[in-house]
């Protein structure tokens, strides 16, 4: 059994904590609400859907992206990517509509399949995976004897 790589775990946790805080700030800015009063609620709201984003991101990293290395599986790569994003968007919208708002803002009605909401959710999921991929791509190997697989 492999040793636990604590540096890697800390790096991943740090990324998600920073991501959560930045996303909460952006939520406050987009809603044009005062940050000191709105930040705790924004943090909680972002934390509510974070598991969906984490699951999508790691599924893309560790299952879908390795398919890129096998050129004959391009259709599977595209199909799984679309399926993963579709499932994530639906689950995200269901959590927002049927769990988060009924518990914490019961007066607000959210339609699950509302066009602008789906668009924003799609963008949120995409930007999450893009940010994580960028950070992962920029991460150099920790030791000289470590190497990343070649993507070409």
Question: How much of the chain exceeds pLDDT 70, in percent?
Answer: 91
Output the pLDDT for position 84. 96
pLDDT tens-digit series, residues 14-53: 999 999 999 999 989 988 999 999 999 999 999 999 999 9
27 lies in which domain range? 6-136
Question: Per-residue pLDDT tens for 112-130?
Answer: 998 999 999 999 999 999 9
Residue 95 counted as domain residue: yes
In a domain, 70, yes or no: yes
* Residue 55 CB partners (closer than 8 Å, separation 6+): 88
Tell me the CA distances in angstroms from 81 to 34, 68, 91, 101, one per residue in order: 37, 11, 15, 28
Q: In the chain, where does DSSP find H-type helix? A: 6-30, 35-59, 65-68, 74-95, 101-104, 115-138
- With respect to residue 62, please indicate whether it lies within any of the assigned structural domains: yes
Contact between residue 71 and residue 104 where contact means Cβ atoms under 8 Å apart: no
The answer to whether residue 146 sits within a structural domain is no
Q: Could you give the number of structural domains in the chain? A: 1
What gap in Å lies between CA 135 and CA 64, rounded to an integer?
Answer: 17
């Amino acid at each position: 059994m492999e040793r636990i790589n604590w540096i890697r775990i800390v790096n991943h946790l740090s990324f998600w904590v920073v991501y959560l805080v930045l996303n909460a700030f952006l939520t406050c800015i987009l809603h044009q609400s005062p940050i000191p009063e709105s930040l705790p609620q924004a943090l909680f709201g972002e934390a509510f859907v974070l598991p969906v984003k984490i699951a999508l991101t790691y599924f893309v990293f560790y299952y879908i992206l390795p398919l890129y290395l096998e050129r004959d599986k391009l259709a599977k790569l595209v199909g799984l990517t679309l399926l993963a994003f579709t499932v994530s968007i639906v689950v995200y919208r269901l959590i927002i509509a049927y769990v988060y708002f009924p518990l914490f803002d019961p007066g607000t009605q959210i339609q699950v399949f509302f066009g602008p909401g789906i668009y924003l959710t799609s963008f949120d999921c995409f930007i999450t995976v893009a940010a994580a991929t960028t950070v992962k791509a920029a991460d150099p190997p920790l030791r000289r004897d470590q190497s990343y697989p070649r993507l070409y």
